[in-house]
Structure 1
């Protein structure tokens, strides 16, 4: 579908409206039927509403004809949004910004054409007169809508109309242009708006109803209708349109801010003042431009230096400036000069990185110095936890890393690694493996020395190491520390990896860097640093002192925060105790993150202690204490059946993960009771669990268990294999 189809639908609707007006006895003077909003622009989608207003001059009463007018329109089967107002009432109604935006596109349908023209002229004049007072309110409304609906370029189920970068924002651009205060709507944004209207037309036709949300199953049929290769191509197409409108919108609002903040004496100045800020670069009305002495054809570093100035100052990199530099500036030599490399790092660490990066992308400037970026541009993440597409996530990681540069000795290496850590996404092999050689090649081209290139490559290859190790291995086991030090044996490397891990997680989603996860990673890094410094690693001992209540055979303590809870249980030891506690938690639908068990000698008596990190912040301590006491006292644990599993479980023995324990890695369907099944099976084999580490990857639970024989002896390989077989058997049968 195209603009021609929309115009044809509008023309057909016009005919119905004109016939209804004539049938209702509508006069030719003093009263007019007008279309507003999308119908006023003649941009009807297959299931759009007809937004119409019957407007009349003061003193003219349309009488009963108004009611007679609407019936034929309703009977036509079209959805109708209608009103009857006098011209002064229209002006009053336009005090509501939502109404005012729709009235900027008034179009005559029937009746007094002069009155329709007067209405359109009045609405535009009123909009321009009130613009300076209205625009801050309009911006607040836009920001509120964005906060609720997210970005069209990144939402998993994007809203073509209301999301940031959608059709509503494209309409706001036209409204900003109509104020005459800024140049807002551009040929690029208008082209994107028209293409997005084409997508919405196809979406309406596919769904058979008025909808603006693209559900995942609609991408493939949309691709076919739009003449694109597949669902991914359709996503990239739509998201690129949203990104273009978003970019122009952000740029336009910054320009609005600059206009509103400009002293009154400058408002009439035709030639803006230039404030030199660097060689060849100036600041003009809040935008980085070239000064009069700039010689783009003789300066290959000028583009990066201009971008760095804009990002460092958090101001606009003028798109016309970036486009000119793409046309006129020569390519950077290989390797890059130090000035270009330094400018890139300043760009990546600047508070205005996101806006400047968008300008570099939209003007084609980015591909002049980082052509590899195109492979991840608008690429969706496989994991639903990610808020953004791969490219935007990488930029957000740089923003997070910029806050951590004082914690590392090589901020330049950190920033480049943050930019490139996901550069291998979209390849057929693991993205960190695929990304390492790409990152090395880029870092070499940028002119980094061999040691820095090696570090960038290692950070890209192992950027998941700390997160995976801290959450699935016992951080107090020396072998866990050795696993990290085998890849990053120096304090400098550890600091860089630590900062990149935090930045990557924070850029992913709030829940990806919880206090629990941060504590595990910090603890692992601190132990690794101690080893590097020559200190002996601490023994595998409990980190929490748990006082034992002598008057009771069980003590339960629960400490909650906004992210979860820490549950400690002290009781007389017996076989199966840990499994029963896991069963009690499962009955309460409590999600366990990790568990740790040890024996504690108090006043000559040995007590079984366990520490459980759980994800439920609203855990009721009283209910939990009661349930645990009953289970520890011997109450049978009965969990419901969960049916057959789609994927068979796997259980592997990780023989090199600990010298003191056998380590079993269990992957199975994520459901309540998995931990109870595993712990109960191990108890039946007379194996003690020293620690358990629970993680969830999509629908799959990935649990790691450190087990010992009674007395703290490491199980033999045969015993570990026996335990693995037993676990496979238990987990393969649905309860």
Structure 2
């Protein structure tokens, strides 16, 4: 089975839009890799345990047409199984596919993850493709333990990384040509929140569902952008917007409205989550246990957000609109989404 020709066949099937293409492509790639692994192991007969693991975006099962195959050959011997690795990597390159690859023991992977944020985040989505299941389980357990044990340091590094990336790539919701992956409110922000969640709970009730819906929109558009442009391109340029929109039966304006809505949703949730992280990093108080502080009648500041106290009804307290703004400004706190929603609903 030739992966390159199968990929072209799937790309030519216009019924496979967005996630449907990704699922079909993954269902093609996974067994092909399993076969390469089994053939390589049978030929080399390596000592000890060995496994083939998908990590990063491939581990999450997110395969756009131009996505890399991020793979880890996991083993437990002193000497790396180079013969097995080469027998897997070279056929992938021969197919013209992009490959991110490494060969490590669990200890080696953890040592690198402790020093390298990209490795630490990639391992969070480790997914066994073939080989020793228990060995992969050890990797998964060790990765979770690392994120729990070093939560404060990893969250600090992750927060800095997010801020730097957003400053460089602009906002998905407001650019004419947004970067669907790296922009503020893009897919990488969704991933970063999932990574942060591995360290400490940073999301509020309802956030996960809203993020999942926004992520699906952005990912499906990214898939069709790769198809339309013929390359691994994450910036939705003006010249590609009509073709991408057509795949969904939309106009370009309708497509961009969907993208903007998804970007705003992600950015809003992410901003609040990272504010909570920042507050937790700057105090000795735990993230979810930060004490409420009453700042005005009917208002409290908790976890860096201005909230209504109890069941207070702003319809009966017109002054709360002004008081909310004053507290937010003087205490440098964000007005919580629940507060804004209640103000909109009760003070039209």
Residue 590 of structure 1 is matched in structure 2 by none
Q: Which has the higher helix share?
A: 2
Deviation at 1:70, TM superposition (A): 1.5
User: Looking at both structures, which has the greater relative contact order when contacts are Cα pairs under 8 Å and sequence separation is at least 6?
Assistant: 2
Distance 1:99 1:243, change over 3 A: same
Q: Which residue, out of 176, 191, 197, partners 2:213?
A: 191
Deviation at 1:205, TM superposition (A): 0.8
Matched, 1:134 2:150: no
Distance 1:278 1:143 in 2: 32
SS at structure 1 position matched to 2:253: helix
SS at structure 2 position matched to 1:157: coil
What is the aligned-residue RMSD (CA, Å)?
A: 2.4
Deviation at 1:197, TM superposition (A): 0.2
Q: TM-score, normalised by structure 2?
A: 0.86
Residues 170-209 of structure 1, C-alpha deviations (whole Å, 9 max, x = no match):
1101111111242275321221111100000110110111
Distance 1:4 1:215, change over 3 A: closer
Matches within 5 A, 1:128-277: 128-183=148-203, 186-228=208-250, 230-263=251-284, 266-267=285-286, 273-277=291-295
Q: Which residue, out of 32, 57, 65, partners 1:16?
A: 32
SS at structure 2 position matched to 1:178: helix
| Residues 281, 290 of structure 1: 8 Å contact kept | yes
| Residues 277, 283 of structure 1: 8 Å contact kept | yes
Q: TM-score, normalised by structure 1?
A: 0.42
Residue 478 of structure 1 is matched in structure 2 by none
Distance 2:311 2:129 in 1: 56
Distance 1:57 1:31 in 2: 7
Residue 317 of structure 2 is matched in structure 1 by 299
| Residues 145, 162 of structure 1: 8 Å contact kept | yes
Moved over 6 A (4+): none
| Residues 203, 214 of structure 1: 8 Å contact kept | yes
Matched, 1:38 2:38: no
Distance 1:268 1:44 in 2: 34
Q: Structure 2: 5+ residue runs without aligned partners?
A: 1-16
Deviation at 1:277, TM superposition (A): 1.6
Distance 2:50 2:227 in 1: 35
Residue 119 of structure 2 is matched in structure 1 by 99
| Residues 54, 83 of structure 1: 8 Å contact kept | yes
Instruction: Figure out how many residues of one structure are paired with residues of the other and give that number.
Output: 326
Matched, 1:65 2:84: yes
SS at structure 2 position matched to 1:24: helix
Deviation at 1:319, TM superposition (A): 1.8
Distance 2:214 2:96 in 1: 31
Q: Structure 1: 5+ residue runs without aligned partners?
A: 332-367, 369-735
Q: Kindly name which structure, 1 or 2, has the bigger radius of gyration based on alpha carbons.
A: 1
| Residues 58, 87 of structure 1: 8 Å contact kept | no
Residue 4 of structure 2 is matched in structure 1 by none
Residue 573 of structure 1 is matched in structure 2 by none
SS at structure 1 position matched to 2:119: helix
